[in-house]
Structure 1
Amino acid sequence: MFSSRRWALAVLTAALAAAGCHAATPDPTPAAAPGDLPVENPAAAMLAPDTCKLGHRDGQPLPDPHCTPGAVNPAVRQDTIEDTICRTGWTKTIRPPTSKTTTMKAASARSYDLAPADKGEYDHLVSLELGGAPDDPRNLWVEPGKIPNPKDAVENKLHAAVCSGLIPLVPAQKAIAADWVTAFDTVGLRIANGKVCLRDHPTTCVTGHRGDGD
């Protein structure tokens, strides 16, 4: 026999079904926790022309944080890095085709009010080698200047630090999204003689670069 609690639940379930009500289906898309970076959404809207403004620090360009906050690939987590970003060749499997990014780059350039002739790389703010979202407009911006650019070296060194275990993944992602120019300081790293070292433990270092670039 039903207990009184089970009986009440059965009655409530039957009443809801009769009224045409159904239990909510969980959203399969992972949601970002408060303070975390947005989770990849390739359908995120491109912003209107002249909506975004470039910033600068120490002579280097920064994206508008309201337009390009960065976004992350949900497949890349601390417990999956050995099978994803730290595995050579992995980023090639997720890199969006130029047939898609060429159109996105043009729209992004208009959002930042950049002239078509302005030279720049359509860059993942959180790089693919740090688990950035491949084709979410919130993680892509036209970074003015030469190619390759100074940000590439920052990405590579952060990647080496993450894959060697010097620092965790999420702080590296947040640091480069917030301000790539100051990312080393934010996560407590220093560069010495080409090595990536912990600032508080200067003899704890890593050399080399595992995996792929942006």
Structure 2
Amino acid sequence: MFAGIAVCAACGGHSAAAPQSANVNAAALAVGESSTPLPSPDSCHLGSRNGQSVPDPACTPGAINPGVTQANIDSTICKSGWTKTVRPAVSKTNKMKAATAKAYDLPAGETGEYDHLVSLELGGAPDDPRNLWVEPGKIPNPKDAVENKLKDAVCSGLVPLATAQTAIAHSWTTAYDDAGLRIANGKVCLRADPSRCAGRQRGDDTGE
């Protein structure tokens, strides 16, 4: 539920709705570190929620990019093409993906996206293993659409950046509810005030 619109000096030009109470644990996510060690083989286990795959929270709790803050979203995640400037090189992520697949004990040849739990377009850490897992299934996948809508909500000022980050890290399958949002007529809107909806903000970025 949301009490209304709170305008703050650090909101980067956007007015973000202030939640009355959090639906998820508001503990701060880890700040990304590329030196974080990869999990060891067979140490992680895929979960399932609402019929969709979710990562092991012990191995993949999510981590955020310290260079993205509420104050600078206009020049980072809300700027078209920005994610290309922070996306890790494939030569690096291919090696990380192979190690992560072993950590999750995935069968050889398993189809899946090496996914940022907190997506780059939501200020997720680019190359911290705590923010990366092999999401089984087709590419693109249902999680991508959730990431895009959450980004729309942040860049339209419906919810603060931290709210969206925490919601997607907690469980992408319930992220709309956890962030106090709903989808109506293809748009993401405030659950407490359905008349307030986000415009499409994604530019040429896509969720991952």
Q: Distance in 2 between matches of 1:204 and 1:107?
A: 43
Aligned to 1:191: 183
Aligned to 2:152: 160
Aligned to 2:20: none
Q: CA shift at 1:210, angstroms?
A: 2.4
Aligned to 2:192: 200
**Higher relative helix content:** 1
Q: Find the structure with the greater CA-based Rg.
A: 1
Q: CA shift at 1:208, angstroms?
A: 1.5
TM-score for both structures, normalised by structure 1: 0.83
Q: Distance in 2 between matches of 1:103 and 1:158?
A: 29
Tell me the amino acid that sits aligned with residue 117 of structure 1.
G
Aligned residues: 181
Q: Distance in 1 between matches of 2:62 and 2:172?
A: 11
Work out the percentage of aligned pairs sharing the same amino acid. Answer: 65
Q: For 1:110-145, what per-residue CA distance to the aligned partner results, in whole angstroms no more than 9, with x for missing partners? A: 000001211000000000000000000000000000
Greater relative CO, 1 or 2 (CA 8 Å, sep 6+): 2
Regions of 4+ moved over 3 Å: none
1:110 aligns with 2:102: yes
**Higher relative strand content:** 2
Q: Choose the corresponding residue for 1:181, options 164, 173, 185.
A: 173
1:85 aligns with 2:74: no
Unaligned runs of 5+ in 1: 1-33
TM-score for both structures, normalised by structure 2: 0.85
CA contact (8 A) 2:156 2:201 kept: no
**Equivalence map 1:125-136=2 (5 Å):** 125-136=117-128
Q: Distance in 2 between matches of 1:72 and 1:37?
A: 7
Q: Distance in 1 between matches of 2:37 and 2:108?
A: 21
Tell me the amino acid that sits aligned with residue 181 of structure 2.
L
Q: CA shift at 1:209, angstroms?
A: 3.2
Aligned to 1:65: 57
Q: CA shift at 1:97, angstroms?
A: 0.7
Q: Secondary structure at the match of 1:116?
A: coil
Query: Please, what is the CA RMSD of the aligned residues?
Result: 1.0
Q: Secondary structure at the match of 1:205?
A: coil
Q: CA shift at 1:63, angstroms?
A: 0.2
CA contact (8 A) 2:118 2:165 kept: yes
Q: Distance in 1 between matches of 2:102 and 2:116?
A: 17
CA contact (8 A) 1:194 1:207 kept: no
Aligned to 1:142: 134
